[in-house]
């Protein structure tokens, strides 16, 4: 049962979402947030994220059945029926909303729920099957982690929260298109119009490089948005952005799927370290 839950909910992706909640939690208060607030916010966010992935798999199970990477997921493999998945997704969503509303506040519950609605309706149902820019607009759903953290800690969404939102918004296309290059044949076979399929590798790696520069500029710019950011954050931001842009430039020149896969995993590590540096510097 635990294995099936993990296959439905993509816990590794949820961990990344939770990592982006931490900066908002710590920047939203002058003191360190209580452990109880951290735990319940992360738990509620994890459940809401899990619900979004369950509903995503319910909607896409027929396409998952023809893709090599996804055909062994619980729904296309017959382990879980589509109706069971839909019911589980709705129940998990409602439980997550109630936990965040009752134990934290309404703004936090609404922020988390908006991420689910954007992911399910804007990205999965509307944009993903229709345009190569699906991940740019649809990726908004994955940017709401800092807003959830700020809402939980401050019951407000000040400017630094939206700058963190912007950082993740600019990170997402470069991160996801790198994976799309590696999985180009799978997406092409399933008829999903990802950029490498529709416009080719050359345009995709150029776009990855463009978004890497924009993302790096936003990471460096955050230093000026919160006076608690100091040497730790600035030094990490400078070093990591140089590495990120250099990696993207190399990918643009080499254009190898295996290098794109390495860039994909490096981008995850990059966002983790940036989030950690924000938390550390806010408490030094």
Say if residue 252's pLDDT is above 90: yes
Average of per-residue pLDDT across 195-208? 89
Question: Do 189 and 178 have their domain in common?
Answer: yes
Question: Do 148 and 223 have their domain in common?
Answer: no
Report which listed range, 53-62, 89-98, 113-122, is most confident.
89-98
Asked which of 156, 178, 204 is the last residue of a domain, the reply is 156
Question: Do 182 and 202 have their domain in common?
Answer: yes
Asked which of 103, 126, 156 is the last residue of a domain, the reply is 156
The rounded distance, in Å, linking the Cα atoms of 27 and 227 is 11
Which of 212-216, 223-227, 257-261 has the lowest average pLDDT? 223-227
Percent over 90 (pLDDT), the chain: 54
Phi-psi region of 191 (alpha: psi -120 to 50; beta: other; left: phi over 0): left
Question: Do 78 and 149 have their domain in common?
Answer: yes
Question: Do 167 and 135 have their domain in common?
Answer: no
Say if residue 85's pLDDT is above 90: no
Question: Do 176 and 146 have their domain in common?
Answer: no
Task: Report how many domains make up the chain.
Answer: 2
Average of per-residue pLDDT across 9-19? 82
The rounded distance, in Å, linking the Cα atoms of 62 and 34 is 44
Question: Do 149 and 96 have their domain in common?
Answer: yes
Say if residue 64's pLDDT is above 70: no
Report which listed range, 13-17, 35-39, 176-180, 184-188, is most confident.
35-39
Select the more confidently predicted residue: 182 or 106.
106
The model's confidence at residue 68, banded by pLDDT at 50, 70 and 90, is low
Residue 276: per-residue pLDDT: 92
Question: Do 43 and 112 have their domain in common?
Answer: yes
The model's confidence at residue 7, banded by pLDDT at 50, 70 and 90, is confident
For residue 1, with 0-12 CB atoms within 10 Å meaning exposed, 13-18 middle and 19 or more buried, which class applies? exposed
The model's confidence at residue 71, banded by pLDDT at 50, 70 and 90, is confident
Asked which of 126, 156, 186 is the last residue of a domain, the reply is 156
Residue 119: per-residue pLDDT: 85
Question: Do 183 and 74 have their domain in common?
Answer: no
pLDDT digits (tens, 9 = 90+) for 134-157: 666 667 778 899 999 999 999 999
Question: Do 130 and 194 have their domain in common?
Answer: no
Cβ–Cβ < 8 Å for 199, 243: no
Percent over 70 (pLDDT), the chain: 92
The model's confidence at residue 4, banded by pLDDT at 50, 70 and 90, is confident
The rounded distance, in Å, linking the Cα atoms of 185 and 69 is 11
The model's confidence at residue 269, banded by pLDDT at 50, 70 and 90, is very high
Average pLDDT, the chain: 88
Select the more confidently predicted residue: 153 or 81.
153
Residue 138: per-residue pLDDT: 66
Both tokens of residue 80? 């879980």
pLDDT digits (tens, 9 = 90+) for 111-128: 999 999 988 887 777 766
Q: Residue 78: give its domain's CATH number.
A: 1.10.357.140
The residue assigned the tokens 């190898």 is: 256
Instruction: Find the domain containing 123 and state its range.
Output: 1-156
Question: Do 226 and 268 have their domain in common?
Answer: yes
Question: Do 211 and 111 have their domain in common?
Answer: no
The radius of gyration of the chain from alpha carbons, rounded to an integer in Å, stands at 19
The rounded distance, in Å, linking the Cα atoms of 276 and 257 is 29
Residue 182: per-residue pLDDT: 87
Residue 146: per-residue pLDDT: 93
């Amino acid at each position: 049962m635990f294995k099936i839950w993990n296959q439905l909910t993509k816990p590794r992706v949820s961990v990344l979402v939770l990592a982006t909640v931490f900066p908002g939690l710590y920047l939203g208060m002058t003191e360190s947030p209580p452990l109880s607030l951290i735990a319940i916010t992360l738990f509620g966010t994890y459940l809401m994220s899990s619900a979004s992935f369950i509903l995503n798999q319910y909607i896409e199970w027929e396409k998952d059945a023809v893709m090599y990477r996804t055909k062994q997921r619980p729904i296309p493999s017959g382990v879980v029926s589509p109706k069971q998945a839909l019911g589980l997704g709705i129940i998990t969503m409602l439980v997550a909303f109630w936990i965040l509303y009752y134990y934290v506040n309404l703004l936090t519950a609404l922020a988390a729920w908006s991420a689910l609605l954007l992911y399910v309706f804007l990205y999965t149902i509307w944009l993903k099957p229709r345009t190569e820019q699906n991940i740019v607009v649809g990726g908004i759903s994955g940017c709401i982690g800092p807003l959830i953290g700020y809402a939980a800690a401050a019951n407000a969404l000040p400017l630094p929260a939206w700058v963190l939102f912007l950082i993740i918004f600019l990170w997402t296309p470069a991160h996801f298109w790198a994976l799309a290059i590696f999985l180009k044949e799978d997406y092409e076979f399933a008829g999903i119009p990802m950029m490498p399929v529709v416009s080719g590798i050359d345009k995709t790696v150029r776009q990855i490089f463009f978004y890497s520069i924009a993302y790096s500029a936003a990471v460096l710019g955050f230093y000026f948005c919160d006076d608690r950011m100091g040497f730790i954050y600035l030094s990490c931001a400078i070093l990591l952005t140089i590495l990120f842009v250099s990696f993207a430039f190399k990918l643009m020149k080499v254009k190898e799927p295996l290098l794109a896969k390495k860039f994909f995993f490096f981008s995850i590590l990059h966002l983790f370290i940036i989030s950690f540096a924000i938390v550390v510097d806010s408490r030094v």
